[in-house]
């Protein structure tokens, strides 16, 4: 049976963004931290870090945030940047403010550019992040594309051939699948994540992308009832869908 890890309460809560260890100690001294309905005053004590801890521990009367290893599915709105440092609206601004102070840090799993909306994952699990974005995994990403001009019928074969070379690169793209919806709308599924890849693919085909929206990552779909700017935490089963 695997040994349950333990951690000092002040170290655990500080790593989850509740403040410095001194901040956490002040919270405890004023009776604002509890576990199993019992107030905790000494945060130097070690506590078993079990999966059910967020349902048992409270800070200021609110259930503890998810433990390290959380995965967030965000419906990224247009106009927001997947960055910690750039000016303007950032996707991290949508999340609870203290999550910006978590250690390990919460990071986006890949990026969607400012003018692309849709399914975006964020996690503090570095190993999982690298598994998802690894080129060796060939995880399919599906985008709904709106185009400035009608498709001419050659695009599906061009993208599927596996020999399309983007401007300025020396390696051809992997084969991609195009599902035509209308003259100016299609679903494109790619297994790579090159810079502005979908936009550049259609530019190479003589067209221009006017709107781009990611609907799917592996076997995980963006929920229809998740509005732009909303997010949800993924279960283990939902995370597993990414690799299907």
Q: Distance of CA 96 to CAs 16, 43, 183, 202, Å?
A: 11, 23, 41, 37
Q: Are 197 and 205 in contact (CB under 8 A)?
A: no
Q: Give strand pairing partners of 57.
A: 35
Q: How far apart are CA 169 and CA 163, in angstroms?
A: 12
Tokens in use for 103?
């250690």
- Residue showing tokens 């601004």: 93
Is position 113 annotated as part of the catalytic site? yes
Q: Distance of CA 93 to CAs 82, 88, 98, 221, Å?
A: 10, 10, 10, 23
Catalytic residue from among 10, 87, 113, 237: 113
- Other beta carbons within 10 Å of 200: 18
Give catalytic residues, as residue numbers: 113
């Amino acid at each position: 049976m695997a040994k349950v890890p333990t951690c000092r309460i002040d170290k655990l809560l500080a790593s989850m963004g509740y403040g410095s260890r001194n901040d956490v100690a002040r919270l405890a001294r004023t009776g604002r931290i509890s576990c199993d309905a019992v107030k905790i005053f000494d945060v130097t004590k070690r506590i078993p870090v079990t999966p059910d801890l967020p349902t048992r521990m409270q800070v200021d009367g609110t259930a503890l945030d998810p433990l390290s290893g959380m995965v967030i599915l965000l419906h990224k709105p247009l106009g927001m940047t997947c960055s910690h440092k750039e000016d303007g609206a950032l996707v991290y601004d949508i999340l609870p403010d203290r999550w910006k102070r978590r250690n390990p840090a919460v990071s986006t799993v890949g990026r969607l550019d400012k003018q692309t909306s849709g399914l975006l994952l964020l996690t503090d699990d570095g190993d999982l992040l690298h598994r998802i974005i690894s080129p060796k995994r060939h995880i399919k990403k599906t985008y709904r594309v709106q185009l400035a001009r009608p498709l001419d019928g050659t695009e599906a074969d061009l993208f599927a051939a596996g020999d399309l070379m983007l401007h300025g690169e020396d390696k051809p793209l992997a084969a991609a699948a195009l599902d035509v919806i209308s003259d100016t709308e299609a679903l494109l599924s790619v297994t790579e994540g090159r810079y502005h890849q979908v936009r550049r693919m259609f530019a190479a085909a003589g067209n221009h992308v006017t709107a781009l929206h990611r609907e799917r990552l592996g076997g995980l779909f963006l929920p229809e009832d998740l509005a732009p700017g909303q997010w949800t935490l993924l279960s283990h089963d939902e995370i597993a869908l990414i690799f299907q």
